[in-house]
């Protein structure tokens, strides 16, 4: 048995039950939650389930409102309340107690309290304001686990108006010696940036510092913010292109610790983020694009293995190559890649291949022609999704010669399709074509 599991099993003091028996199994067979779950599984009708849950909720309601309930018991009650809400029943009486639990509980109790809050409430809920004080307090705690919990909750759900109150505290965490805290602080700032961009304008230089952070996790976190900012203003960040290219080179070249490998691929999500950033920076800009050709070539080469994640990276690479200023050798390799996708027997890859073809068809119509046999086969594919994607592709390569055939196929599809949204979309396309080619 692995280290992790051993440690977890021995350290788990039957979390969900009120009595702590060291070494009890993960399944907490004596816990109240366990009993509830088993009770539900044994029932046969929805009506009975409703009755059972309502009984349970009444009991929970009584206990949470009682002044004698300890925090430990409250935690257990909260877990059951979460479970009931997950099944679709309403337990709003417990919301305020969740906040209280986060405030007054210690360690695991606090964690469950925060979890309950993040699951129960949403951004516009009035109770959220009460959470702010708790978070502020925890951010200043000497117990780093509490700081982590506070930062996690902030990144998920936080009232926009209270950002100024908490911003300085989060900012100072950017310089914390522990990487997990720096990383979470960056993510909290990312969240702030998304909901109130003008509030975080003044700290852009701190993001740069995060980008150069020696820990790859922190650096990756900063990329989320950069991707967003670059999307809004690519010109402002062209000077960072070389930095991004260097980082990608290092990642692809395997310079990160082995830890970050996912199925032998170094930091795939990081690669993908960087590829997207590079796409945005290189678009319509020859000089910037030239900086990245080498690393794109390298990425294409390295992504050789047969794993889904490699294909995901390849797809992003291909998209990038077609977006930035064109370079013929790269385009050739990318075209070959797309070809492999479309011809692949794996249905998910076929889908991606079709999607890629749709994307590039304006720039390279020959590619679609090259694969037209496969495309025609896809039209008759049993899976509706593939069919629909093929129609999407065909829509883009419609010309005066093939329009009749294509529209016929679309109408055929409309007859068997049951999904409203797709129908509306497709009808729109047919109408467009009808107008264009009377």
Residue numbers 26-85 binding other proteins by CB under 8 A = 26-28, 33-34, 37, 79, 82-83
DSSP state of 324: B
430 binds other proteins (CB under 8 A): no
Minimum separation from the CB atom of position 209 to other proteins (A): 19
Span 328-357, contacts to other proteins by CB under 8 A: 347-348, 351-352
Query: How far is residue 339's CA from residue 108's CA, in Å, rounded to a whole number?
Result: 52
- Candidates 160-168, 272-280, 326-334, 369-377: pick the segment binding other proteins (CB under 8 A): 272-280
CB of 106 to other proteins, least distance (A): 6
* Residue 28, SS3 per DSSP: coil
Interface mask toward other proteins for 102-131; x: CB under 8 A? ----xxx--xx--x--xx--xxx-------
Classify 178 in phi/psi space as left (phi over 0), alpha (psi -120 to 50) or beta: beta
Distance CA 243, CA 236 (A): 14
H helices of 122-240, in order, are 128-139, 144-156, 163-173, 179-195, 204-211, 216-232
Phi, psi dihedral angles at 283 (to 5 degrees): -65, 130
Helix count (H) and strand count (E) of the chain? 23, 2
Q: Which of residues 306-325 bind other proteins (CB under 8 A)?
A: 308-309, 311-312, 315-316, 319, 323
Query: Coil, helix or strand for 163?
Result: helix
Residues 399-418 that bind other proteins (CB under 8 A): none
Query: What is the spatial distance between Cα 31 and Cα 265, in angstroms, rounded to a whole number?
Result: 42
Where in 149-178 is the site for other proteins (CB under 8 A)?
A: 149, 152, 155-156, 178
212 binds other proteins (CB under 8 A): no
Q: Which is nearer to other proteins, 11 or 405 (CB)?
A: 11
What is the smallest separation between the CB atom of 201 and other proteins, expressed in angstroms?
Answer: 19
The reply on whether position 249 binds other proteins by CB under 8 A is no
User: Is residue 254 a contact point for other proteins (CB under 8 A)?
Assistant: no
Backbone angles phi, psi at 89, to 5 degrees: -95, 160
Size of the site for other proteins (CB under 8 A): 98
Shortest Cβ 314–other proteins spacing (Å): 9
Token pair belonging to 387: 């069919």
């Amino acid at each position: 048995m692995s280290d992790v599991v051993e440690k977890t099993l021995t350290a788990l003091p039957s979390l969900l039950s009120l009595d702590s028996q060291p070494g009890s199994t993960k399944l907490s067979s004596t816990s109240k939650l366990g009993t509830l779950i088993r009770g539900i599984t044994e029932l046969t009708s929805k009506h009975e389930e409703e009755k059972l849950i309502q009984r349970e909720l009444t009991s929970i309601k009584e206990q949470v409102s009682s002044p004698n309930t300890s925090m430990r018991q409250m935690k257990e009650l909260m877990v059951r309340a979460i479970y009931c809400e997950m099944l679709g029943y309403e337990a709003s009486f417990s919301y305020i107690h969740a906040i209280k639990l986060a405030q007054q509980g210690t360690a695991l109790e606090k964690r469950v309290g925060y979890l309950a809050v993040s699951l129960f409430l949403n951004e516009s809920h009035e109770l959220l304001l009460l959470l702010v004080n708790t978070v502020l307090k925890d951010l200043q705690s000497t117990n780093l686990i509490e700081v982590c919990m506070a930062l996690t909750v902030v990144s998920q759900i936080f009232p926009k108006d209270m950002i100024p109150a908490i911003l300085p505290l989060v900012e100072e965490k950017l310089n914390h010696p522990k990487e997990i805290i720096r990383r979470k602080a960056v993510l909290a700032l990312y969240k702030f940036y998304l909901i109130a961009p003008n509030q975080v304008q003044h700290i852009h230089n701190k993001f740069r510092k995060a980008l150069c952070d020696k820990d790859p996790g922190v650096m990756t976190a900063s990329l989320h913010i950069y991707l967003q900012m670059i999307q809004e203003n690519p010109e402002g960040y062209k000077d960072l292109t070389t930095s991004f290219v260097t980082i990608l080179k290092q990642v692809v070249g395997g310079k990160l610790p082995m830890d970050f490998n996912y199925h032998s691929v170094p930091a795939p999500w990081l690669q993908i983020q960087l590829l997207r950033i590079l796409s945005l920076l290189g678009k319509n800009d020859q000089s910037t694009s030239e900086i990245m050709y080498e690393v794109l070539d390298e990425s294409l080469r390295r992504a050789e293995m047969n794993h889904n994640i490699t294909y995901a990276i390849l797809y992003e690479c291909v998209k990038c190559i077609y977006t930035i200023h064109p370079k013929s050798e790269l385009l050739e390799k990318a075209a070959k890649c797309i070809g492999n996708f479309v011809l692949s027997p794996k249905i998910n890859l076929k889908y991606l291949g079709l999607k890629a073809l749709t994307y590039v068809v304006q720039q390279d119509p020959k590619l679609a022609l090259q694969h037209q046999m496969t495309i025609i086969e896809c039209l008759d594919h049993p899976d509706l999704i593939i069919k629909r994607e093929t129609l999407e592709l065909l829509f883009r390569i419609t010309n005066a010669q093939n329009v009749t055939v294509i529209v016929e196929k679309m109408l055929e599809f409309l007859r068997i399709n049951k999904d409203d949204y797709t129908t509306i979309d497709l009808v729109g396309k047919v109408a467009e074509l009808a107008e264009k080619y009377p």
